[in-house]
A and B are shown apart, each in its own frame.
Chain A
Amino acid sequence: MTSPADGRASAFLAALETADDEAARSLVDDLVAEGPAGLCLVMDELIPTALEIVGLRWEQNEWTIAQEHIATDICRRIVISIGEELPEPEPNAPSALVACAEGEWHSLASLTVQVALSLAGWRAELLGPSVSSSQLAASIFDNGPDLVALTCSMVANLPGARRMIDTAHQTGTAVVVGGRAFGENHYRSRRLGADAWVATASAVLDIPAKRVDIQPASLPDPPHQPELRLLDDATHEIVMNLSRHADLDESDQEVLATGAVWMLRTVHAALLCDDRDILREHIEWQSRRALLGSALPSEDVVSAVVAAMPPQAEVATQWLEECLAAAAPD
């Protein structure tokens, strides 16, 4: 966080912790009063950073899930009220649909992007959390937008994001993407076929209206296409086998199977993007959740998945083993 807001960042977090929405609101109002830069600071720094810390505190069991829900809800209402104060878009304004990637339930990022687009004069419609590609297609047909803005914060949802990008392209609509799952540069978004990537919500202000060039409807095959096909075919069987794991009781079998679903989806994402960091990011996240007791230790899940992998899935197996070796204590 940049220096002028440092004090406010901790004050904001304190307001969220005590569920003091008035205090949180007035901190934001002060920043917004400072002009566009202040507003960008709220959207790009203050709220995302605070929520990241809130998430960590929940994962480390310092906050209850109810506290996390309340903090998210306060932030949501703040962003909504910022959006409500913006003027109506011009009649011939460019239009955008804002959606969370399929499986993505952290919808605050997409809400923020909607407000940022409105700020830039777009007519931005929010589709809400976890949008499937068939729902996206239906909304594109109903609204006929110039642009689809897609947010994704969990790497396991990147395959869903790719399906949505393909769907939008089939309708001739350009896609801009953003969110933590896309990493810190263009690399992953290009691999997934997106037409543009933004580092922060307010960066959508720099998108020239209607001037995002659409990439060809059909992407070249990703580098690990044969292995991706292999895994697609094998996923169901791997998960089913793990869900009947002989050494575990019924409830742990289910936890393992669920962990494996996420892990395999992440493997898919990593192969699609040709980026093994995706696996590392997911395993770190999984490890934090394991501390909460809401998931198995990530090494257990990775080991179980590696053991169940078809032998031809060489790249995936190698990457998972590397992650396991890196995570092992010295």
Chain B
Amino acid sequence: MFWDDASHRIYGLEPGTFDGRFDSFISMVHPEDRDEVLRVIGEVAATGGDYSIRHRIVIPDGGVRWIEGQGRITSVDGAPEDGRGIVYLLDERLVFDREREELTAGKELARAESAATREQLRFLIELTDAISGSLNTERVARHFVSFVAEELADVCMVDVNVQEPFGNILTCVGAAGANPIVSTASPALAPAAARRASMPLDPSRAVGPEIVAMDSPEQESVVGGGAMYVAAYALMAHGSRIGTITAIRRDRPWTRDSRELLLAATRRVAGAFDRAELHADRSKFVAMFQAAATPKDLPQIAHLDIAVHYRPATELVRLGGDLYDVFEVEPGSWMIAVGDICGKGIVAAGHAELARTALRSAAFSTGDPVKALEILNRTLLAESSRPMLTAVLARFDVTDDGVDVAIAAAGHPPPILISDVDEWSTVDTRGTMLGATPAPSFHNSQVTLRSGQAIAMYTDGITESRFGTSFFGTERLGKTLSSAWPSSAAAMAADVAATLDTWAAGQPPDDILLMVVRVADK
């Protein structure tokens, strides 16, 4: 190695005293920097090329100096042939400032990164809060597009397949500061939505402008002019494509972070949509069975004032199979039935539908309550799913003197007869539960009702409601009904419902069914 006079001075040596040996040079490099210097020089020496390295040296009086060496080494077949370079003495202050700058820049970068991470976390937490509470597809879509349009993009749009109304696509568009717009249409009527919902996606590529073409001018104005940057992701749930999220930024391109955030948001909302559709399925099933087992509209009957208080449990595990029916078997003769399937849940609800249909056809075929129950029993025994139920069936014949009632029961709580203010009794009914044995026994009880008198049929959801230390019970039911005399059937039923609620506050309700049939005032 050959050093000029200036190099000698930098190393604190008298000019001409350096022995030119590489080892002597290395011994002057600060021990902490030695490895790095050897590494850099070694690499460049092997291949040939330029180097630039900043390191400390230790001068003979023990002082430390910062220097920067730059140069070029040529090599032949992996062995260094020639090298030339220059060395600068660095001002210590400058070195210090540079180091501090680097340190500060690193800190700021770290701070910015951690702020960005916190911000992303906040975004995802708030988004999850906004969409996870609802099990309603439209509501989830509204919350989602509003949130994304406020936080991440200027416009956000969801196209998602929905079952209700069947086989349609729900489109929801939201822009910052505006209420989202929702429309639902079949693919044939909304081809743009259908295209969007199933379009092939390449997340790395902005989607063409045809994707943002809206279905109506009103929605088009939401997008407006300006340079638009579109990001779109597929909504995936249980392995299937259920729709598309499209988000548009105006005059600001998507960054890697914002895309990742949109993708994370898309995954979460896909789950929310899936849950909402599953809930809709379940509700539809339950509603369908309940509508079939517990008709909303009862026929208007001359001389009979009928009220039903029916409140099914909202939790599926508590949902029972209550059923009732009112129908005319012959002109002027009406059959009224109340029943309760053994068991809970969606299977009970399905059995209730079956039992009501079977009960009705049995009653039509005979007109006699006892015989109708016998036929129903045979029908149920023939069913492979073995439904069992308790029921009471009553035939009402309007006569000149009042109303004749023939009642038969099958393992069911006894009907209550309300004859005057604070006067009530149970109707004596004994009978076997339906669907349990091939040889049941049923009995006919006969009652005549005068004007204002009433008969109440109910399921054990009423009498077995908790009331203080005990159950609500038949006694209290009779008392409550007869104290409302001579109110309408509806008022009597409402009084019972209100009394039941005294002790029920905050408890998840079980099925409750009460039917009051009162002879109307003439």
Contacts and interface: CB of A to CB of B under 8 A. Distances in A.
Interface stretch (B372-380, B432-440, B485-493): B485-493
A172 B139 contact: yes
B501 A130 contact: yes
Interface stretch (B82-90, B126-134, B359-367): B126-134
B489 to A, nearest CB: 11
B505 interface: yes
Contacts of A134: 314-315, 508-509
Given A132-B509, A210-B179, A257 B133 contact: no
Contact of B136 (A140, A217, A243): A140
B497 A257 contact: no
A68 B150 CA distance: 53
B143 A130 contact: no
Interface string A236-274: 000110011000000000100110011001000000000
Contact of B491 (A69, A92, A132, A217): A69
Interface in A192-221: 210, 217
A86 B375 CA distance: 49
Chain B contact residues (Cβ within 8 angstroms of A): what range? 35 or more
Interface string B129-170: 111011111110001000000000000000000000000000
A328 interface: no
Contact of B506 (A141, A163, A254): A163
A240 B470 CA distance: 10
Given A105-B501, A134-B314, A239-B468, A141 B134 contact: yes
Given A210-B179, A240-B469, A69 B136 contact: no
Contacts of A179: none
Interface string A159-172: 11001000001111
A105 B494 contact: yes
Given A210-B179, A240-B469, A172 B502 contact: no
Interface residues of A, number: 41
B195 to A, nearest CB: 23
B457 interface: no
B497 A129 contact: yes
Contacts of B311: 135
B471 interface: no
Given A130-B501, A261-B502, A69 B468 contact: no
B490 to A, nearest CB: 8
Nearest to B503: A261
B279 interface: yes
Q: Which of A66, A159, A217, A244 has the most CB of B within 10 A?
A: A66
Contacts of B276: 141
A144 interface: yes
B297 to A, nearest CB: 16
B501 A103 contact: yes
Pairs A-B, 9 closest by C-beta atoms: A144-B136, A141-B135, A105-B498, A144-B139, A69-B491, A138-B314, A134-B314, A171-B133, A69-B487
19 contacts: A66-B491, A69-B487, A73-B491, A129-B494, A132-B504, A132-B508, A134-B508, A134-B509, A140-B134, A141-B135, A142-B136, A142-B280, A144-B137, A172-B134, A172-B139, A210-B179, A244-B469, A257-B468, A261-B502
Given A144-B136, A160-B506, 5 more contacts: A103-B504, A169-B133, A257-B468, A258-B502, A261-B503
